[in-house]
Structure 1
Amino acid sequence: MADSDSSPQTAAFWAQADALLRKNLTYQKRNFNANCRLISFPFVLCTLLIITQKLLDNQINKKSKQCGCQCIDTNGDGTCETVCGLQFSDLDQSPSCPVPSPLKWPPLLQVPAPQHRAVRSASNPSKDLPDESCRQTGNCPVTILITGTNQTLGQSLAASMFSPPSPLNSTNSVLGSDSTTKQDSFLDPAFVEGSLYNIQSQCTSNSTVNVSVSLDVSKSSPFNFVKETVCVPSLNLWRNSSSEINDQIYRGYEKGNAERQYNEILGAYDFLNSNANNFNVNVWYNATNKDNYDGQFNLVRLPRALNLVSNAYLQLFQGRMVLEFIKEMPKPATKEKLDIASLLGTLFFAWVVIQLFPVVLTALVYEKQQKLRIMMKMHGLGDGPYWMISYMYFLVICALYMVVFVAFGSLVVVGYICVFATGLLGAFLFQSFVEDASFPILLSTSFCWLSMRNSCLGFTYCLLLLFSSFTLMEIVSLITEGWILFMELYPGFALYRGLYEFAEYALRGNSMGTDGMKWGNLSASENGMSDVMIIMLLEWIALLFIAYYVDQVFSSGSGKNPKYLLQKFRKKRPSSFRRPSLGRQGSKVFVDMDKPDVVQEREKVEQLLLEPTASHSIVCDSLRKVYPGRDGNREKLAVRGLSLAIPRGECFGMLGPNGAGKTSFISMMIGLTMPTTGTAYVEGLDIQTQMDWVYTSMGVCPQHDLLWETLTGREHLLFYGRLKNLKGASLKRAVEESLRSVNLFNGGVADKQAGKYSGGMKRRLSVAISLIGDPKVVYMDEPSTGLDPASRNNLWKVVKRAKQDRAIILTTHSMEEAEYLCDRLGIFVDGSLQCVGNPKELRGRYGGSYVFTMTTSVNDEHDVEQMVRRLSPGAEKTYQMAGTQKFEMPKQEVSIADVFEAVEVAKSRFPVYAWGLSDTTLEDVFIKVANSAQQVHTLT
């Protein structure tokens, strides 16, 4: 058969890549506005973020949140001056005030509220606890639990902690409060709005003191607090072990959270092995704030609890230590700020990143849905150039998107971006974009339609984003590092983890005034960023490999054997060879042995398989296609053991009724589906195993025009010409000749977008595409559909000239077209070839009769039939209606002169309105063969 030297030169990898790149650039230039909108999307997001941030800042820093001010007459002249400061502020306003000299507050204990103090109850039945009735009067004591190795020492120390000093004053008194602490103590809530308690071993009539705090904030506005205390007795209880104390404290939280009742302990001390020479103590302290569980952000009233036990020890053995005041560091005026970008963090920026996901997926699935991908492949475009150029294009879009996002975010001072080393954030986002461009490529190999289910993919992706954003913090803190790494193998979860770590650093940076994550933080074990970056790199490589493999096995035309990668190392074009098909013997049962032309065609195929020759471009060996049964339907036998040989320079026409199997045959030949059994050889190459090489010598004009709506006719031909290895002047010449041949050159039609073409113009362009680059085999599926008579005649001339040095398979329903263009015809019925031959042979073989037609009155129909029987005893009536009758008369039984003479005699006997005598047409042959074949298959 034909060797590799006689086949058309295949365009090299980079030539194919160049052709696709040029086409994509032209295509994207037409979509310039859409691309600009996509790349500018970060502008919109950042602008919305800034507007939202401004509105939020205005709400946070509105007057009720600003430092309190008052107009004061400082000079006594009746004019007032606005003075702002802590003395005019409430707790909500105080954080924004300047505090050059902070107030000194007496140290306080965190005291349980009266209704929460420990009493004897079902959950805590200790007999030494007070009765529950004290809650009715509000005089329940606060309980201190004590343990240690020396009970005497422990009880002595506990007794001296709350003994009233002399004289009684606010400095020496043990003060406490049940108020909720804040993030700072510039204004302590206990002195502004809470209750203040004076804790003593026993309350007496004079045990209540007034506590005053004063500070001259300005000369004209002294800042004074005077607070009356409420005496609360203390109850010191000994326990035998620290575990008993721990259990009792825990029981204080057990009773009915729904009832909001607790048995809270003020504090507990384990003096361990303390003695006169050694002071060693463990302290349990109360840091719980009722109805407010953000204690991790609030101050803890712990210094006074430590001072009490230390002072008690010193008083017993050495002296005494007094803790007089505590105070904050001075600070300037501040404004509260909640950085939206840092707060949203993972959710917002992951959402920004995945905006490109549906864009990439839609573009790839669109080419599959419109069958443009397989159209390119059938004209020689390899999978390697296609995926490389497609991926690089989306990568460039992602890179531009990322640069605009980071640059504009830095320009407008989006906190999440500005607190980072911009290069680090940019590198991470770019790596995430690289990976995200791979994931839709993998998904695109599994979907063929832009339907609701594809939209659901993006929706599902967003749901996973939300799930990851709101649960990642808990997951990271609960599961082991190994499980975290396993979860990050999911494409996207590593992205969420990385953005989560960025957000954590950003929040800390904003609140503490420090920088966010830097390059040096990548090696820190607590953030896991190094693992994230490595996993994302590995996922990128794995996704691209899996996407390419899945595309090769399942989506590229007829697909390949899953083991094809083992044979991928063979770089040379496979040699041409033929061998008899394994499925041929099984398909002989479908051949009607009474049809000598079909039998002869099969014998010719068998001879060509044994003795290959370069003269035949297409050899089909027992092709058989069976579609499996679905939804309760039986399997469909579409092609029944077809054997056919088409030499170079011949146009072979396939005729047949709808559903005969023509489309299934063409689909197998162009690689859309795989044969069930049998095979075919195109230019000596097996369509079962060497379809990629077959594509390099093939041209296809599909039944439906597969065109890019925004590309012009010239740009289509330039692209497909480059795929056929045409370059430079020869490419331009071939394109112009193709445009002229199909009448698309004049009047600016060639440079008009294909989406604005009429149906006939699109059809002519599809024919020109199939013929450009001198393909050795061309498949044309109803090429003249939708053309006007003039254009159809012109197109026929083009096809007739083109068939001189190539094999053409043409399907049509036009008998005129088949007779004009085709050297041989094959009538296909119910999946099998019924006859083969040129039009003249078929008319002679199946149309050996004249067709006589006569129209008379209904009353004279019997006379007409008698006349025909006298002329031709073997005549057969094929039509009768309203006086019109049609008869087929065997040619050997009648002469034309006898028919004319009989008609003249009939005219003298009854009125004849019309009559005619014609030879058998190709259409008559087609109808006769199709009807007889269908009757046979119906009976069988």
Structure 2
Amino acid sequence: MKMHGLGDGPYWMISYAYFLTISMLYLITLVSFGSAIGLRFFRLNGYSIQFVFYFIYLNLQISIAFLFSSIFEKVKTVTVVAYILVYGTGLLGSFLFQKLIESESFPEEYIIGLELYPGFSLYRRLYEFSQYASRGTGMKWQDISDSGMSEIFYIMSVEWFLALIVAFYIDQVFSSGKSPFFFLVNPFKKPSSLPRRPTVQRLDSKKVFIDMEKLDVTQEREKVQKLRNEGSTGHAILCDDLKKVYPGRDGNPPKMAVRGLYLSVPLGECFGMLGPNGAGKTSFISMMTGLLRPSSGTALVQGLDICKDMNKVYTSMGVCPQHDLLWETLTGREHLLFYGRLKNIKGSSLTHAVDESLKSVSLFDGGVGDKPAGNYSGGMKRRLSVAISLIGNPKVVYMDEPSTGLDPASRKNLWNVIKRAKQNTAIILTTHSMEEAEFLCDRLGIFVDGGLQCIGNSKELKSRYGGSYVFTMTTSSEHEDEVERLVKSVSPNAKKIYHLAGTQKFELAKQEVRIAEVFRSVEKAKSNFTLFAWGLADTTLEDVFIKVARTAQAFIPLS
């Protein structure tokens, strides 16, 4: 929701109101049932006092829960801590705190100090209610001062607001990546862009890495640096020396997931990121969408720095994550209505946009869009995720393997949707399908071991890294030697890459091969021995990918 434009303020307000409503319903049920069955604890003590006390404590409890959710990252950890606090407070209240309250020699100041812990404040309040109820009079407002309850009201009220403020501050600094002094920034100041920086001479310690950079990668880096130096923000996406390092754990060294990435993507371009598993593609997408904070470097999205202005970046961004994030009880239409409202689409425009989105991903006919997402197949969920990422015509869209699990017909339809959407949008797409990359992407980058190894359109990459033809011939086993001699006559430096049961494959260097000569040689060979099958193919994008990946994995560049 945050990646699609939901602000922190509305999210906190809605979540707070939801939990407060649930808590108040529980409170009303508890007091009503207790009074109905005749419990003096509820019937004798003033209902208004009970309501004010419970209301303040419930708000304090919710605020502390928000604070814990900001501090702890793992649900299991905070669950254990919460159980210890709840049960520990109950045991200490019964066996320690009550004895201290009833002791005349224990200083009242120390009691107040203990009540700074919310659990003891609650226990003290319940203790006083029970004492007044046992006398048969119950607590009234005039008894507040004598019972020492006024201090508890003040303590809980102050802690309520302090816990909320601290929780929001921690969330903004550690989760949203803002500066620790973000509250001192002028709210009316225009968002900052990356400052210009002078061109500097690279250190000798990095010379090996630069020498190993391919010309196309070097040109992309120089292009980004030129845009930085000129202060230009015309590109939708501009990555400048973006790095991500995961700290070492369990004796393992730190993991460099993204190594100084330089990349520029203008509006109207679909950039495809190819790479083996673990190459760093998902880490890059996670940084660009705000899930991870870069270790160093930064990126501009529509002129906004992802390290400083990520909340503003979200308003013009769409995301199709690798795994579908859907509410199973909501229908496809309800999903799109919700995310459309986040993109500030309203009224008839919203209805029209939702209908068009459902039609574009083939979820409109037959009332499929009005069925709960939990009943969708994997392919239907994937199509809905793509529709969510594109609703509202965002300026920047990230798609992490969008066509995974789709049948051929649905995949081709989805490709057409993405191709139409990129006209006014910059799209970064990761995929393992070479066919998808060639169909959708204007430019491609092959990512290996956290670094960009090459960049360019499909034809450029094939021409640059696939300088050979693949010649295949199938004959009977006794004629295999004759096939080898035929190939050597056409291309003296031919390399055999496959051999099984009479079928042989050879790589023929393009610069020493004439296609007409290959055909003449094959026709001549037909008169000498039987050919079952033969073929001559140009290098495919898959061949380029495998070649670049193997070459890059032969060494680890300097970080």
2: distance between equivalents of 1:778 and 1:610?
26
1:574 to 171, 187, 191: 191
Pairing 1:545-556 to 2, within 5 Å after superposition: 545-556=165-176
2: distance between equivalents of 1:692 and 1:406?
43
- Counterpart for residue 523 of structure 2: 904
- The structural deviation recorded for 1:415 is 1.5
Q: What's the CA shift string for 1:374-412, capped at 9, x where partnerless?
A: xx1111111111111100111111122212222232222
- The structural deviation recorded for 1:448 is 4.2
In structure 2, the CA distance between the partners of 1:715 and 1:739, relative to structure 1 (3 Å rule), is same
- The structural deviation recorded for 1:563 is 2.8
2: distance between equivalents of 1:889 and 1:783?
36
Contact 1:615–1:647 (CA<8 Å) still a contact in 2? yes
- Counterpart for residue 422 of structure 1: 47
In structure 2, the CA distance between the partners of 1:649 and 1:926, relative to structure 1 (3 Å rule), is same
Match status 1:483 vs 2:103: no
Q: What's the CA shift string for 1:504-537, capped at 9, x where partnerless?
A: 112222xxxxx1111110021xx21111111111
Q: What's the CA shift string for 1:437-483, capped at 9, x where partnerless?
A: 22212112234444376256235412322321332221222532222
- Counterpart for residue 14 of structure 2: 389
- Counterpart for residue 326 of structure 1: none
Contact 2:471–2:506 (CA<8 Å) still a contact in 1? yes
Higher relative contact order (CA 8 A, sep 6+): 2
Contact 2:358–2:387 (CA<8 Å) still a contact in 1? yes
- The structural deviation recorded for 1:661 is 1.3
2:150 to 530, 536, 553: 530
Pairing 1:330-479 to 2, within 5 Å after superposition: 376-451=1-76, 454=79, 457-458=82-83, 460-476=85-101, 477=103, 479=106
- The structural deviation recorded for 1:808 is 0.5
1:653 to 272, 283, 290: 272
- Counterpart for residue 517 of structure 1: 139
- How many residues are aligned here? 555
- The structural deviation recorded for 1:756 is 1.5
- Counterpart for residue 238 of structure 1: none
Pairing 1:201-240 to 2, within 5 Å after superposition: none
2: distance between equivalents of 1:406 and 1:897?
94
Contact 1:848–1:891 (CA<8 Å) still a contact in 2? yes
Pairing 1:529-608 to 2, within 5 Å after superposition: 529-556=149-176, 559-567=177-185, 569-580=186-197, 585=202, 589=207, 590-592=209-211, 595-608=214-227
Q: Secondary structure at the match of 1:541?
A: helix
Q: Secondary structure at the match of 1:445?
A: helix
Contact 2:196–2:230 (CA<8 Å) still a contact in 1? no
Contact 2:491–2:512 (CA<8 Å) still a contact in 1? yes
Report the AA paired with residue 380 of structure 2. M
In structure 2, the CA distance between the partners of 1:384 and 1:853, relative to structure 1 (3 Å rule), is same
1: distance between equivalents of 2:199 and 2:287?
17
1: distance between equivalents of 2:2 and 2:539?
43
Cα RMSD for the two superposed structures: 2.2
1: distance between equivalents of 2:96 and 2:451?
62
Structure showing greater Rg: 1
Q: What's the CA shift string for 1:671-696, capped at 9, x where partnerless?
A: 11122221111111111111111111
Q: What's the CA shift string for 1:31-52, capped at 9, x where partnerless?
A: xxxxxxxxxxxxxxxxxxxxxx
Contact 2:199–2:225 (CA<8 Å) still a contact in 1? no
Instruction: Give the structure-1-normalised TM-score.
Output: 0.57
2: distance between equivalents of 1:560 and 1:594?
34
Report the AA paired with residue 148 of structure 2. G
Contact 1:584–1:622 (CA<8 Å) still a contact in 2? no
Match status 1:719 vs 2:338: yes
Contact 2:97–2:120 (CA<8 Å) still a contact in 1? no
Contact 1:446–1:555 (CA<8 Å) still a contact in 2? no
Q: Secondary structure at the match of 2:2?
A: helix
Report the AA paired with residue 675 of structure 1. P
- The structural deviation recorded for 1:862 is 2.8
2: distance between equivalents of 1:565 and 1:450?
29
Match status 1:504 vs 2:131: yes
Match status 1:683 vs 2:302: yes
Q: Secondary structure at the match of 2:138?
A: coil
Instruction: Give the structure-2-normalised TM-score.
Output: 0.94
Give the unaligned 5+ runs of structure 2: none
Q: Secondary structure at the match of 2:22?
A: helix
Contact 2:68–2:78 (CA<8 Å) still a contact in 1? no
2: distance between equivalents of 1:614 and 1:595?
26
Match status 1:778 vs 2:400: no
- The structural deviation recorded for 1:898 is 2.3
Contact 2:41–2:133 (CA<8 Å) still a contact in 1? yes
Contact 1:406–1:426 (CA<8 Å) still a contact in 2? no
2: distance between equivalents of 1:401 and 1:417?
15
- The structural deviation recorded for 1:604 is 1.1
- Counterpart for residue 824 of structure 1: 443
Contact 1:812–1:818 (CA<8 Å) still a contact in 2? yes
Give the unaligned 5+ runs of structure 1: 1-375, 510-514
1: distance between equivalents of 2:94 and 2:100?
11
Identical aligned pairs, as a percentage?
62
